Amino acid sequence: MKLIGSLTSPYARKARVVLAEKKIEYDFELDSPWTPDNKVAQINPLGKIPVLVLDDDTVLFDSRVIVEYLDNVTPNNKLMPAPNRERTEVKRWEALGDGVCDAAVLIFLERKRPAKQQSADWIARQETKIVRSLEFMSEQLGENTWCIGTHFSLADITTGCALGYLAFRFPEIDWRENHPNLARIHDKLMLRPTFAETAPQD
Ligand code: GSF
């Protein structure tokens, strides 16, 4: 199978971490919707990365669909619990982490516009979502070892990718100082080769 993505996308990183944690072999093809003559829209009508292309040429998107498929395609290292309540909790963590990335990407794109066209209100609206979500993440994590309590899951992967993206693109958002438990879990995740080897880079 082939994953199409970039080295900076937090959503692509989520898929790359899951592939590595599940020890699934794949080809990584670099392509980004932001580069001229990219091919993303030819395979994903939404024109977004990541995209997973299976061996039978089936195309999967978005990252939530990709990681759920990957978790079920092999029995080892399950990242999403089976019981409905726990599984739903993991998916809510994923929605939270992806939502932080959504708001961060919107700010990043707004700041690429000509200065006179940038909306300060729009940026502030996204920043507020990020700040509220970091507070919620910190409250939910508390002093737990992992996001859903005692074991590593997709919730930690998504949270780690979101925090890593903020650190990469928005060093001014000081989540480490404001939420030491988020710094703790991020640093613990970075000890895993699957995280260390996929850290965002320009
Ligand atoms: C979001 C992917 C996304 O926005 C997912 O895979 O979870 N819900 C989707 N990807 C960005 C690249 S990046 O900022 O990570 C993307 O492809 N944007 C292109 C566009 O046209 O929005």
Q: Residue 125 has what pLDDT? A: 98
**What is the torsion angle, in degrees rounded to the nearest 10, for the CA atoms of residue 119, residue 113, residue 31 and residue 68?**
0
Q: Residue 111 has what pLDDT? A: 96
Domain boundaries, the chain: 2-73, 85-196
Enumerate long-range contacts of 95-98, CB under 8 Å, 24 or more apart.
96/133, 96/136, 96/137, 96/158, 96/159, 96/162, 97/14, 97/137, 97/155, 97/158, 97/159, 97/161, 97/162, 98/11, 98/14, 98/63, 98/64, 98/158, 98/162
Q: Which of 192, 181, 166, 202 is nearest to 17 (CA)?
A: 192
Nearest CA, atom 14, ligand 1: 9
What percentage of the chain reaches a pLDDT higher than 90? 99
Domain 2-73: assigned CATH number: 3.40.30.10
Please give the average per-residue pLDDT across 160-170, as a whole number: 98
Nearest CA, atom 17, ligand 1: 48
Q: Residue 100 has what pLDDT? A: 98
pTM of full prediction above 0.75:
yes
pLDDT in tens, 26-36: 999 999 999 99
Q: How confident is the model at residue 144 (pLDDT cuts 50, 70, 90)?
A: very high
pLDDT in tens, 54-106: 999 999 999 999 999 999 999 999 999 999 999 999 999 999 999 999 999 99
Q: Cite the DSSP H helix spans in the chain.
A: 10-21, 40-43, 63-73, 84-110, 120-141, 154-169, 175-178, 180-189, 193-196
* Mutational test site, ligand 1, from 48, 69, 70, 107, max ligand atoms within 8 Å of CB: 48
Q: Residue 149 has what pLDDT? A: 87
Strands 27-30 and 2-5: parallel
CA of 143 to the centre of ligand 1 (A): 32
Is the pLDDT at 113 greater than 90, yes or no?
yes
Strand partners for 153: none
Domain 85-196: assigned CATH number: 1.20.1050.10
Pocket of ligand 1 (CB under 6 A): 9-11, 33, 47-50, 62-64, 98, 105
Task: Kindly list the distances between the CA atom of residue 198 and the CA atoms of 24, 30, 51, 132, in Å, as whole numbers in the listed order.
Answer: 15, 13, 17, 26
CA of 110 to the centre of ligand 1 (A): 15
